[in-house]
Amino acid sequence: MLADPRIPIPPLPNNPAELARWQHTRLRRRMLYGAWREDLVERIEWAIGSVRREAWGVPDLSSNVFRSAFSSLSVLYDRRPTITHDNAAAGARVAALASGAGWAPLMQRVQRDTLGMREMLVRVDVSIAANGQPEVNYRPVYPDMVLAESSPERPDVPVEIYELRLREDRSGKPRWTYDYLSIEPGKDPYYRVIAAGGDESGEDLSAEYLGVEGGLVGEAYPYRRLDGTVYLPYVLYHAAKTGALFDPFEASELVEGSLNVAVLWTFWGHTVRQASWPQRYAIGVQAPGATIEGSDASTLRESIIPDPATVLLFAPTDESMSPQIGQWEAGADPNTLQEAISHYERRIAAFAGVSAADVMRVAGDPRSGFALAITREAAREAQRRFEPVFRPADEELMQITAAMVNAATGANDLPEYGYRVQYVSLPPSAEERQGEREHVLGLIGAGLLDRVSAYQQLHPGISRADAELALADIASVNARYRPT
């Protein structure tokens, strides 16, 4: 994200549509990873010009509604999901391999990035450790580092991927390359490494990096299941099912609004520092000691630094004129301005699906976007919303993990299909449990609910027969220990 002078600038695609996708996605990535200062400076300068921008001082990055909203919604992996299979031993082994690779903690960040950038990829690699055991590695791949093609039959699943990767040449100098993999139906699969440029026709570097001239083609292609099916070592995660490979501009309003919010908070800070107290003025006199500020001819300005605790000293400019000294009211009320910006901030958060009702309340007021925290129920709703989108990708990831472990070890003892991923819902808070109990007891007292149904409500998933047995057991125990 931050430029390193030792590393060449990564090439951009020549295709205008892909170029626009990469550039916008990179803005989103900078905002997700705290590298958006220059974007904010550019937005402030666009809004008010360079002279006033310098007068505003350091830009305020404390509010990032875009990042806060998607961080709050990314709760699917807060509790480690379970990985199972009809073959219990195989399921436990793949679960252990995924856990050893840090899959669940990694996916907390991957989910946030998927929601923010609309897509993310995870590449799987398997190596053999010194003890002879397989080690799995999951590597996040950002969509602004990838070109991809799909088949007409499955337009949201890639069959060809170019991943932009930084490597070293034989002299040790860094160079940008593409990992170029294809499993296009009806053609030989291949894995090549080519020089990265504006298009996909760079020099073939496979001999240098893969050890094979022309790459790994046909039967030499390394990513095959036991049944002969070829696959890509990538899993593409989507924020929503759209029927397309990429959906880069969805929720652009949130990106633009978040930049505007940061502009407004920068203005608020400038207001507090420079315009939140009455300002004295003078006519017919001059304040000596003014300094010249600004970095170039377009931003030069004469400046006096006032303070509410001081009185400026003036010298007359014209002996024939009677000097006048007075005072203006404060330029702005910081409290009123803060409330207006916070209201705008909450409206922007709604573009991410975070309503004001879902935001935690502190002292009766929703937190502003830079401290966004949604309620437990809203978090569970976010889990329910994203489960159907993430589960197929997670289960495919486990299938690829099993296939690559089989290939690396040669044991071929892991089933390569049929893995299931179940997500663990966030438990209710103490306040939610108390509210549910009071609601159920109220229905029982009003004669609108029987005790068995009430027990089922308080213990989701239990059958009516088991609920009756549990209530009978409770009654029996209570009868034995009834106070005398």
pLDDT in tens, 36-66: 999 999 999 999 888 888 888 899 999 999 9
Higher-pLDDT residue of 365 and 103 is: 103
Report the side by side order of strands in the sheet with 174-182: 146-151, 154-168, 174-182, 190-195, 216-217
Name the band, by pLDDT with cuts 50, 70 and 90, for residue 200. low
| Residue 456 confidence (pLDDT) | 83
| 315 close to 288: Cβ distance less than 8 angstroms | yes
Q: Is residue 472 part of a domain?
A: yes
Q: Is residue 58 part of a domain?
A: no
Question: In which residue are the tokens 């991809």 written?
Answer: 148
| Residue 238 confidence (pLDDT) | 97
Q: Is the pLDDT of residue 77 over 90?
A: yes
pLDDT tens for residues 463-480?
788 889 989 999 888 888
Q: What are the helix (H) ranges across 49-196?
A: 50-56, 65-73, 88-100, 103-117
Q: Is residue 434 part of a domain?
A: yes
Q: 452 is in which domain, residue-wise? A: 430-480
Look up residue 146 and give its amino acid. V
Any idea what DSSP says for residue 55? H
| Residue 23 burial (CB count, 10 A) | 13
**Which of 326-340, 386-400, 430-444 holds the top average pLDDT?**
386-400
pTM for the model stands at 0.80
Range 310-314, long-range pairs (CB < 8 A, 24+ positions): 311/280, 312/280, 312/282, 312/287, 313/287, 313/288, 314/282, 314/285, 314/286, 314/287
Q: Is residue 77 part of a domain?
A: no
Q: Is the pLDDT of residue 291 over 90?
A: no
Name the band, by pLDDT with cuts 50, 70 and 90, for residue 298. low
Give CA separation, 306 vs 268, 273, 287, 432, in Å: 18, 11, 11, 53
Residue 333's closest CA among 266, 407, 276?
Answer: 276
| Residue 7 confidence (pLDDT) | 82
Q: Is residue 88 part of a domain?
A: no
Query: How many whole angstroms separate alpha carbon 255 and alpha carbon 250?
Result: 10
Q: Is the pLDDT of residue 80 over 60?
A: yes
Residue 373's closest CA among 392, 393, 349?
Answer: 349
For the chain, the domain total comes to 1
Average pLDDT over residues 117-124: 98
| Residue 361 confidence (pLDDT) | 44
Q: Is residue 168 part of a domain?
A: no
Name the band, by pLDDT with cuts 50, 70 and 90, for residue 368. very low
Higher-pLDDT residue of 383 and 320 is: 383
Spell out a b/e string for 361-372, using b for 16 or more CB atoms within 10 Å of the CB, else e: eeeeebbbbbeb
Q: Is the pLDDT of residue 312 over 70?
A: no
